[in-house]
Amino acid sequence: MLTLHARPSAIRKFLEGQASAGIVLMAVAVAALVIANSPLGPGYEAILHAKLGPLSFGHWINDGLMAVFFLFVGLEIKREMLDGQLSTWSRRILPGIAALGGMIVPALIFLAFNRGATASGWAIPAATDIAFALGVIALLGKRVPASLRIFLAALAIIDDLGAVIIIAAFYTTSISALYLCGAMVAVAVLVAFNRLGVQRLLPYLLVGAVLWVLVLQSGIHATLAGVILALTIPMDLTPSRSDAECDSPLHRLEHALEKPVGFLVVPLFGLANAGVMVVGLPAAALIAPVTLGAAAGLMVGKVLGVFGFSMLAVKFDLADMPAHATRAQMLGVALLCGIGFTMSIFITLLAYAGDPLLQTEAKLGVLTGSLLSGLAGYALLRWAGGTAKGEVSIAAA
């Protein structure tokens, strides 16, 4: 008997890579919590606040390295929108509707707990952490159909796009017209490179570095420079070539960044920001409106938004269920969408800049909500899943 295995698709390779990075991120988050609440805690804080040139070590991670993360996210969004799982409206409808519900409902739940100054954190539970979520799915193996993994990845990419728009629109305080004009000139140069068909990455990256400095000084969050740069990187859309064979600047840069972002940038961000000091924290912080709003927004809001909006879309024939997936499995994936680590903590830093207590409360809520959502999603998917159909080898005698 001869068994033939289908060649792994680019999306499956992507999912496997992200899943591995998610497992690393889980370990780093736990390590950060242990360090922050141990005798090493003061040293941990001192390192984050130590100056390296014009910025502290923590700021270099949050404003510098995270710009690389946003560059990678922007490349993913562009590739998926032009030539991937989001390239047609039929593919975008269900994850798009689910992502919309997964942003609206958690924000409303957060606002139900928070009024006044703390309401500025409404977007904290609105984002899903793709690395963490796919890391949990990786532990389940073939109990989860491939169609649901793709649905989750597409949803998280749209979710990231929504988070980028929210950051740009709602978390920009004061703007320097001079530096903003300089940034616009840099963007014009990048667009000109694209229009002129420049294929070398170096010119884009050099102007992108200048753009980062200008955006940092302009008052708009510097990480958005990464997204802007990504959107100007050319991508080869030759239909006869697969993602694995493409050699366009976008594919080359995305491939080059995948491992560093997954195994260095995001873990460093987690190490720098997941260290919540729980020991000695006032008991009131555990039930503070910000803590409860962030936790409930992720645990309850994501499920209601993602699962509820998805089922409504299917009921009214706006979209089809993912192939071979049951409603219970869809509910399990909706629970996993409540894992909101990277983007949620990033938005926390913007929403409550200068208020360490509110940042601590929000991080506590994010970590609690993400942990409970991940455990519940894993348990439900393990109970509801079997061997996924459609992934069987082709056998011939």
Strand partners, 395: 3
Residue with tokens 């269920």: 321
57-172+221-389: CATH class: mainly alpha
Residue with tokens 């070590």: 57
Q: CA–CA distance from 5 to each of 9, 19, 390, 391 (Å)?
A: 12, 22, 12, 9
User: Quick one: pLDDT at residue 223?
Assistant: 81
User: Quick one: pLDDT at residue 12?
Assistant: 52
Residue with tokens 């929108």: 81
Where the chain has pLDDT below 70, the residues are: 1-19, 237-246, 386-397
User: Quick one: pLDDT at residue 246?
Assistant: 62
**How far apart (Å, rounded) are the C-alpha atoms in residues 351 and 357?**
12
> Phi/psi at 321 (nearest 5 deg)?
-65, 145
To which H or E segment does residue 111 belong? helix 89-113
HSE at residue 30, side-chain half, CA atoms within 13 A, is 8
pLDDT digits (tens, 9 = 90+) for 58-73: 889 988 898 998 899 8
Question: Taking Cα atoms as reference points, which of 217, 171, 209, 208 lies closest to residue 346?
Answer: 171
β-strand 2-4 against 55-56: which pairing, if any?
A: unpaired
Count of C-beta atoms within a 10 Å radius of residue 33:
17
Residue with tokens 């879309």: 313
User: Quick one: pLDDT at residue 388?
Assistant: 43
Question: Taking Cα atoms as reference points, which of 229, 192, 198 lies closest to residue 213?
Answer: 229
> Phi/psi at 294 (nearest 5 deg)?
-65, -45
Count of C-beta atoms within a 10 Å radius of residue 281:
15
CA angle (62, 122, 373) in 5-degree steps: 80
Angle, helices 327-336 vs 308-315, to 10°: value is 140
Q: Are 341 and 366 in contact (CB under 8 A)?
A: yes
